[in-house]
A and B are shown apart, each in its own frame.
Chain A
Amino acid sequence: MSKRIFVLMSALVVAVAAGQTSKSAAVPKTPWGDPDLQGPWTSDDTWGVPFERPANFGTRAFLTEDELKAREKQVEASKQRIEHPSDDQHSPAKRQLDALNSGTPAPEPAPGGRGGGRGASVDAAPVPGQFGEYARRASKQTSQVVDPPNGRIPELTAEGKERQAAMRGRGRGGGSPDSWEQWSIYDRCITRGVAGSIIPVIYGNGLEIVQAPGYVAIRYEMVHDTRIIPLDGRAHLSKDVHTYMGDPVGHFEGNTLVVETTNLNDKMGVGANGGGLPYSEDTILTERFTRMPGNVINYELTVNDPKTYTAPWKVAFPITQEPGYKVFEYACHEGNMSLRNALLANRAEKEKAAEAAGK
């Protein structure tokens, strides 16, 4: 063995050892040696952070000290509204309760807050107070989209633009829909998709990670999807299979779980509750879950869909473990009275109109 190779290998040994100790010491490990990502997590802390960056921030990814103080105040106010709704004359919950008691119609909720239906804006909405989720600490991020550097979704391809134009005017919008098919996949309790299951919304931002040797499983509370992520290096499913949640395969890089999802169908978008412009069947979603010291996972989602977007783009935010936070059964479809009532209301309106027309 030549001296040169020995030196080279020694350097490598040092690099490997240093890499492993500096990264591994601070984060928990499973008994079989994988980084331990287990437990209930929530993306609540990013609730209220705009999805795309408002133009005035330019390429500035983080708030200034003053801006952060302002957001801290908002976060505290949300918390107060939710924890003590009856104390706050201005909370939506209080207004709705008052409206019910007085028999006057309740005020309209903020637009875009719920549903994230097809074509709905993916910008964050003001927090209605009645659902009980809020950021526990103020995020410094100016947007959830972190790449490209302006925090905006890249320009659409020609095909993407066509699809977006075709989508406009569909969806719930105004009026009452004639059929369930005009409602979003989320409203129908089918799924929120890979991105929509973790992007924070007004409630139900919980997920739970359970690991076994060779596997990581993620179950999301709202609409109860579970993703089983094999770590054995297997190939993806064939092109004959396209599904809402796609086919995930994963591996660990240091303290980071990397998940690549393909075989997606073309019905979901990367936005709140799976809204936004649906991506194509060729999409590759790459997620990185990096276990940090303390109760934080840094989450990143890279969207690679050359059919829809002129460049890949990335969403990133932390998810956290909070005391007492648990994931519950969310029997969405089983209890979907909202869709049933809307369809019945639509029928009643139409019947009334037909009666008035003397038919």
Chain B
Amino acid sequence: MQNRVSLALLPALITLFTIAAFGQTAPSPRPATRVNGKPNMTGLWQALGTADWDIQDHASQAGPFYQLGAIGAEPPGQSIVDGNEIPYLPEALAQKKKNYANRYQEDPVIKCYMPGVPRATYVPFPFEIIQSQKDILIAYEFASTNRVINMGKPEEAVTDTWMGTSNGRWEGDTLVVDVTGFNGMAWFDRAGNFASDSLQVVERYSMLDANTLKYEATITDPKTFSRPWKISLPLYRHREEHARLLEFKCVEYVEQLIYGPLLYQPGKKK
């Protein structure tokens, strides 16, 4: 009898033994496609394309530094704006044109400032989504920018910020994020497309397949645009083994640019 019981227990014991011996160090299994009843968006993502140069249709052109030749040139690209048109109010359109003319001086991203939303999504750097059972973190490689999407009771922005205040909710399998509380200082691209501090961005993230996200954002800003408009683009999962978010702290790369002109230069009058 005793023998029979112990034999019957054997598989369970072996399992427990295995867990005890290896459970702590065994690698986690591949990420599930769904987690907690929602599509699992955890992972490293990146946009392809040239939206960061210009979210509208654009032909290629020479870059600002002839020394960089082909690698410094602006690549061509197609619009991520639905219908390609951005409905600027007249004054805002004039400002956009001014921004474009001065884009290689005034684009805030040149200075390693946070890119804002939606631009952080399609600057040419990856970002990581960490999707918990509740809140969702997005960590962007560019300038170590990050934001946490509050999935609980919506909270009003307590102050204006570069990345805004993100309140999210699930609509079926789509993650909808309402972003407000912007400081109005970020641009949409290197071409000088911009908005004011009354900007509202409603983002929609949905899985096209296990390795592709569809990203859509509706842009509303009555101070800048005559009507809401929309962008959409796919985001691709980094599938390289052990791909990870690396460190791109660009502050060091812009100090000469920002602070250089402030330094004392002997013999030079102020």
Contacts and interface: CB of A to CB of B under 8 A. Distances in A.
A217 B148 CA distance: 11
A178 B264 contact: yes
B251 A350 contact: no
Interface in B235-259: 242, 244-247, 249, 251-252, 255, 258-259
B10 to A, nearest CB: 7
A30 B263 contact: no
Nearest to B150: A326
A16 to B, nearest CB: 5
Given A12-B20, A233-B27, A329-B163, A343 B263 contact: yes
Contacts of B185: 334
A228 B264 contact: no
Contacts of A219: 137, 139, 146, 148
A340 interface: yes
Interface of B: 3, 6-7, 10, 13, 16-17, 19-20, 24-28, 31-32, 35-36, 40, 42, 112-114, 128, 130-137, 139, 143-148, 158-159, 161-163, 185, 242, 244-247, 249, 251-252, 255, 258-259, 262-264, 266-267, 270
B266 A327 contact: no
Contacts of A31: 35-36, 133
B255 A38 contact: no
B42 A329 contact: no
Contacts of B270: 347, 351
Given A213-B28, A251-B24, A1 B7 contact: yes
Given A30-B132, A346-B264, 20 more contacts: A1-B10, A6-B6, A12-B16, A16-B20, A178-B263, A178-B264, A179-B259, A180-B255, A215-B42, A217-B139, A219-B148, A224-B146, A226-B144, A241-B246, A243-B246, A245-B247, A327-B148, A331-B113, A339-B259, A347-B270
B39 to A, nearest CB: 13
A244 B246 CA distance: 11
A330 to B, nearest CB: 9
Interface in A216-249: 217, 219, 223-226, 228, 230-235, 241, 243-245, 247
A67 B252 CA distance: 45
Contacts of B242: 230, 234-235
A26 interface: no
B145 to A, nearest CB: 7
Which residue of A6, A212, A230 has the most chain B CB atoms within 10 A of its CB atom? A212
17 contacts: A1-B6, A10-B13, A13-B13, A210-B136, A212-B131, A212-B132, A213-B32, A217-B128, A217-B130, A219-B137, A228-B130, A232-B27, A233-B26, A241-B246, A243-B247, A328-B158, A329-B161
A253 interface: yes
Nearest to A345: B262
Interface stretch (A94-102, A185-193, A271-279, A296-304): A185-193
Contact of A191 (B128, B136, B249, B255): B249
A161 interface: no
Nearest to A343: B262
Given A219-B137, A329-B161, A331-B162, A38 B132 contact: yes
Contacts of B143: 333
B137 A213 contact: no
Contact of B262 (A208, A232, A233, A344): A344
Interface residues of A, number: 63
A347 B132 CA distance: 50
A9 B13 contact: yes
A214 interface: yes
7 closest A-B pairs by CB: A226-B139, A210-B137, A243-B247, A350-B264, A212-B42, A329-B161, A347-B264
A21 B49 CA distance: 52
Contacts of A13: 13, 16
Contacts of A343: 259, 262-263
A251 B20 CA distance: 15
A333 B251 contact: yes
Contact of B28 (A38, A232, A241, A347): A232
Given A189-B251, A214-B31, A331 B259 contact: no
A354 interface: yes
A111 B40 CA distance: 50
A101 to B, nearest CB: 27
A228 B255 contact: no
A211 B42 CA distance: 10
A344 B259 CA distance: 9
A80 B24 CA distance: 46
A217 B42 CA distance: 11
Given A38-B132, A213-B28, A224 B144 contact: yes
Which residue of B133, B245, B247, B263 has the most chain A CB atoms within 10 A of its CB atom? B247
Contacts of B258: 340
A219 B136 CA distance: 12
B148 A210 contact: yes
Given A214-B42, A217-B137, A9 B31 contact: no
Contacts of B6: 1, 6
A334 B159 CA distance: 15
Contacts of B128: 217, 228
